[in-house]
Amino acid sequence: MAVLPRKNFTRSGRLSGDDGPSRLLPGLTIDGHLEVDGEIYIDGLVNGRIDGGIVIIGPQGTVVGDIVAREVRIEGTLEGRTFAHHVSITQTARVTGRVFHHTISVDKGARIDARMPWRPLNYFETLDQLPETRS
């Protein structure tokens, strides 16, 4: 699956004209599979899998499940697995599970109870089928 964002969607958003990124705010819960062609900001709760270009878990956001993306920024809570070229984990983050990455940054203050395996870039090109791992 291509995780690169497709820019400049040409369809006209007549109702809103809103071309901004998707944002899930507190109070919102999604159970299921999200496929994002671009960026998504999550300050709500997602149970399930997220495929995206850039996935940002805001300080109040929680994701329980798997994230597959080019870039993942975690400011909130992740329980599960991340597969991303670049992962940044900020001060307010709480991470449990596994963080598969090529490059990573972790801020002081983050709470992490996870494995963080490094993988070569081509590993992320073949992630249609996620590996089985035991948490």
Residues forming the site for another protein (CB under 8 A): 5-6, 9, 11-16, 18-38, 40, 44-45, 48, 59-62, 76-77, 91-94, 108-111
Could you give the CA distance from residue 130 to residue 135 in angstroms, rounded to a whole number? 14
Contact 83, 130 (CB under 8 A): yes
Q: How far is the CB of 104 from another protein (least distance, A)?
A: 19
- Cβ partners under 8 Å of residue 79, min gap 6: 62, 63, 64, 65, 96, 97
We find the least distance from the C-beta atom of residue 72 to another protein, in angstroms, to be 16
Pick 80 or 100: Cβ nearer another protein: 80
Judged by beta carbon, residue 77 or residue 82, the one nearer another protein is 77
If we measure between CA atoms, which residue out of 131, 109, 51 comes closest to residue 117?
131
Nearer to another protein, 49 or 102 (CB): 49
Cβ closer to another protein: 92 or 123? Answer: 92
Q: How many Å apart are CA 55 and CA 41, to the nearest integer?
A: 6
Shortest CB 122 distance to another protein, Å: 25
